[in-house]
């Protein structure tokens, strides 16, 4: 599962960089539609970032849930600290937006974990068929 830990870190790094640079366009009280769209847009983005990788790495059965856990683990650990120093890490975002950002992060992690419970997750053996 080291691949999925690295994949999760990469996703976290990319998402954090995007929100650090242009997060003020997504999280703003002046444009609630954009904030709602950010939550909705997370659904296909999470699907694109997980389901094809499970297939590519031939992850089947309950091993898909373990892969999903490995994907979210690095980001959850890092975000536990990042959210404490939110204003330093995301200077373009207002401090009033930290709770909305934290909510979105939890939403995204929940979506990733849900990909581990897809129907294909429980079909076949719960083994990993690829070399990690």
Question: What pLDDT digit, counting tens, does each position of 69-112 carry?
Answer: 999 999 999 999 999 999 999 999 999 999 999 999 999 999 99
pLDDT at position 120: 57
Provide the pLDDT confidence category of residue 28 given band limits of 50, 70 and 90: confident
Distance CA 107, CA 113 (A): 10
Return the pLDDT at 26: 86
Query: Of all residues in the chain, what percent carry a pLDDT higher than 70?
Result: 89
Higher pLDDT, 83 or 131: 83
For residue 66, give the nearest of 121, 125, 130, 124 by alpha carbon. Answer: 121
The answer to pTM > 0.85 is: yes
Q: What is the mean pLDDT of the chain?
A: 90
Q: How far apart are CA 130 and CA 1, in angstroms?
A: 10
């Amino acid at each position: 599962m080291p691949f999925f830990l690295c994949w999760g870190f990469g996703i976290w790094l990319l998402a954090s960089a995007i929100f650090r640079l242009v997060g003020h366009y997504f999280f703003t009280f002046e444009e609630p539609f954009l904030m709602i769209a950010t939550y909705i847009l997370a659904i296909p983005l999470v699907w694109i970032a997980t389901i094809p990788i499970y297939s590519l790495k031939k992850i089947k059965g309950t091993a898909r849930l373990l892969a999903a856990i490995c994907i979210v683990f690095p980001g959850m650990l890092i975000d536990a600290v990042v959210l404490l120093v939110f204003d330093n890490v995301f200077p373009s975002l207002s401090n009033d937006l930290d709770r909305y950002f934290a909510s979105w992060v939890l939403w995204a992690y929940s979506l990733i974990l849900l990909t581990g419970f897809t129907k294909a997750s429980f079909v076949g053996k719960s083994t990993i068929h690829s070399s990690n």
